[in-house]
């Protein structure tokens, strides 16, 4: 192994489309105010479904950002990724040109890719025949096209790949991009996740697994991580993309730095396709902290995976206790999913964005709907109201179907 010191990595640009708003600023403001992005499904007639709620993008109009031809030829998950990436690049003030294009890459993934396009063309195939399937079906459906479209839009020609690790996709994408910069394979990376999964097939599939909340009469109260009365997660949609840069070059060009990314851990449970294994989740957190070179006692805040499902919230609580020991009782923990639902492949990257903003703004967003404490979830989940607090070091957790685990460690540059 090389003895060359690993390069430091800064987060310099943020872009997001969430159920709380179009853009990072609006999403963050509403998150800190404890507002909910969960409501009745409007994208299709869900009246026959036992689940009639979701966290949809409310005010996003692709025509405000993309030309008509691009909209016609791409799936919603690609459109979300393109817009979030453009926001992040603009926020970072990053210019891609002939002098640096080969040193700037893209790692953007998705849980399942263009499922809207897939479902639409499947119906066309069944109802109208082979000749009516769109010539844009395949490029609209395959998962790596979000990364490909972003690279083509901005001119990046460095390392590019697509991560597909279910609900850990966004965090793994950022972590993999982080490593590429650390090891001098790139100077800047555009990284994140995107999903457009509010479709009948997805809602029906997740509901048949009994994974979704059926609290249809109180949508804004349906997602309630760590609460005793939780009954499942709320499926959501959106995208989160960050710009990562080698720290010294970012500072030289005068870029603002939201936080420094200092650690990344990932592993797999090898236990069950849906049931979590808290011991391996704890090992993932320890791997991330070890990679960052910080002690458990140094952690000020954890942005939890916090899905609002029975097994997952208990497992994550146990993992945090095992990884942080006695300090787990002192660290602030919150789940953004209580307000934005579960954005699947975009969850980890959107939550990483909110973690960076927590560090930068010294505000910890709340875990909403935490009304009846669960005896098995007995840590500090910042219930129902945002908290002002200096956060130097934070963890962002993501755990996915198939037993995949990922954790990111960030640090304030002001420490």
Q: Which residues are catalytic?
A: 167, 305, 342
Q: State the residue for tokens 């479709």.
A: 199
Which tokens go with 177? 């991009």
Calpha distance 202→276 (Å, rounded): 21
* 78, containing H or E segment: helix 76-92
Q: How many CA atoms lie within 13 A of 246 on its CB side?
A: 18
Calpha distance 254→236 (Å, rounded): 36
Calpha distance 401→410 (Å, rounded): 25
- In sign, the C-alpha dihedral spanning 192, 198, 199, 205 is positive
For 30-85, the DSSP string reads HHHTT----EE--SS--TTSS--EEB--SS--GGGTS-HHHHHHS-HHHHHHHHHH
* 3 state SS of 177: helix
CA 137 to chain centre: 26
Calpha distance 329→31 (Å, rounded): 24
Calpha distance 234→223 (Å, rounded): 6
The answer to whether residues 336 and 396 touch, using CB atoms and an 8 Å cutoff, is no
Q: How many CB atoms lie within 10 A of CB 251?
A: 16
- Planar angle of CA 304, 410, 260, nearest 5 degrees: 155
Exposed, middle or buried by CB within 10 Å (0-12, 13-18, 19+), for 25?
middle
The answer to whether residues 109 and 400 touch, using CB atoms and an 8 Å cutoff, is no
State the distance between the two ends of the chain, measured CA to CA, in whole angstroms. Answer: 31
148, 152, 156, 160: CA torsion to nearest 10: 10
The answer to whether residues 166 and 111 touch, using CB atoms and an 8 Å cutoff, is yes
The answer to whether residues 188 and 365 touch, using CB atoms and an 8 Å cutoff, is no
Which tokens go with 240? 């989160």
């Amino acid at each position: 192994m090389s003895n060359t010191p690993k390069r430091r990595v800064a987060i310099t640009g943020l872009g997001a489309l969430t159920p709380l708003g179009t853009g990072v600023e609006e999403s963050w403001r509403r998150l800190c105010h404890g507002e909910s992005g969960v409501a009745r499904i409007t994208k299709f007639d869900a009246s026959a479904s036992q689940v009639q709620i979701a966290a949809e993008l409310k005010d996003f109009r692709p025509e405000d950002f993309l030309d008509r031809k691009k909209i016609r030829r791409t799936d919603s998950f690609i459109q979300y990724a393109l817009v979030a990436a453009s926001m992040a690049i603009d926020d970072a003030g990053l210019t891609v040109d002939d002098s640096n294009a080969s040193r700037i890459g893209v790692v953007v993934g998705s849980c399942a890719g263009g499922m809207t396009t897939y479902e639409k063309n499947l119906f066309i195939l069944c109802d109208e025949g082979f000749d009516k399937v769109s010539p844009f079906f395949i490029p609209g459906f395959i998962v790596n096209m979000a990364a490909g479209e972003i690279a083509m839009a901005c001119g990046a020609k460095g390392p590019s790949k697509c991560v597909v690790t279910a609900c850990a996709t966004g965090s793994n994408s950022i972590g993999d991009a982080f490593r590429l910069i650390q090891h001098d394979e790139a100077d800047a990376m555009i990284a994140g996740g995107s999903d457009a999964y509010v479709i009948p097939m997805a809602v029906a599939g997740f509901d048949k697994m009994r994974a979704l909340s059926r609290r249809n009469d109180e949508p804004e109260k349906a997602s309630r991580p760590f609460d005793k009365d939780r009954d499942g997660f709320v499926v959501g949609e959106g995208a989160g993309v960050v710009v990562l840069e080698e720290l010294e070059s970012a500072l030289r060009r005068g870029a603002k730095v939201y936080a420094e990314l200092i650690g990344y851990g990932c592993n797999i449970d090898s236990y069950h396709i849906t049931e979590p294994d808290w011991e391996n989740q704890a090992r993932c957190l320890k791997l991330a902290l070890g990679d960052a070179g910080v002690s458990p006692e140094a952690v000020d805040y954890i942005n939890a995976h916090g899905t609002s499902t029975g097994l997952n919230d208990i497992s994550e609580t146990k993992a945090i206790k095992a990884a942080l020991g006695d300090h787990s009782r002192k660290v602030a923990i919150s789940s953004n999913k209580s307000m934005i639902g579960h954005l699947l492949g975009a969850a980890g990257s959107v939550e990483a964005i909110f973690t960076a903003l927590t560090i930068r703004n010294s505000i910890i967003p709340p875990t909403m709907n935490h009304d009846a404490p669960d005896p098995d979830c007995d840590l500090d989940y910042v219930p129902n109201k945002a908290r002002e607090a200096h956060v130097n070091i934070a963890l962002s957790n993501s755990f996915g179907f198939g037993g995949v685990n990922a954790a990111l460690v960030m640090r304030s540059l002001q420490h």
